Amino acid sequence: MNQSNSTLLLVFGPPAMADSGQLICILAGPPAAVDLVKPFCKGVMGCENIDFAGQIQGKATLLKVIGNTFILQMIEALSEGHTLAEKTGLGTDNLHALIEAMFPGPYTAYSNRLKSGDYYKRDEPLFAVDLAQKDAKHALDLAASTGVKMRAVELANAHLADVKEYMGTKGDIASIYGAVRQESGLKFENQ
């Protein structure tokens, strides 16, 4: 298929969401080409489509890059919250109960990964530190080229560098928690 008829398909979601057909699918390209792919997205491998048919394909890529910063910032916020809950005596179980009640879905899933120690126990990362750093760099480069500051992404990226130093290629995006813990005087591992 030549470039003028090609369809761009990007997805949001980890492997478990793919396995359960819960990915968010981003489609771009000529409307006729996008229409050919749509039946395989929502209701099959995904739960929702975001349709960029007929628009510049680069907009779909921009959405993916910016959307990935939300994941980074979510993990940064959860990591800081869990660390503060532990250090103040509130306890991570109590914080997790609030997260489950107020922020079901990805926040709860990542909170579970932090609480369980999954962020450092995996043999293979779900979202490798190198990929997370690459996404952060793309976002920060875009921000810099447009005069936007992304301080939370800068902070998360610095924590990813700490993760890379501590865990090497086994580091995962959720391992930001370990870096925040270390920065706060705790051990990287929570168990």
Q: 138 to each of 12, 53, 131, 150, 161, how far by Cα in Å?
A: 17, 24, 11, 12, 15
Domain ranges for the chain, please list them.
3-55, 61-183
The CATH T-level fold of domain 3-55 is Rossmann fold (3.40.50)
How much is the mean pLDDT over the chain? 94
59 has catalytic annotation: no
Neighbour order of strands in the sheet with 46-53 = 8-12, 23-29, 46-53
- Among 38, 42, 59, 64, the one annotated catalytic: 64
Q: What would the pLDDT profile of 121-177 be if each residue is shown by its tens digit?
A: 999 999 999 999 999 999 999 999 999 999 999 999 999 999 999 999 999 999 999
- Return the pLDDT at 73: 98
Q: CATH fold of 61-183, please?
A: N-(1-d-carboxylethyl)-l-norvaline Dehydrogenase; domain 2 (1.10.1040)
User: For 55-86, what is each residue's pLDDT tens digit?
Assistant: 999 999 999 999 999 999 999 999 999 999 99
Select from 149, 188, 179, 143 the least CA-distant residue to 161.
179
- The residues, any chain, with a CB within 8 Å of residue 72's CB and separated by 6 or more, are 132, 135, 136, 152, 153, 156, 157, 173, 176
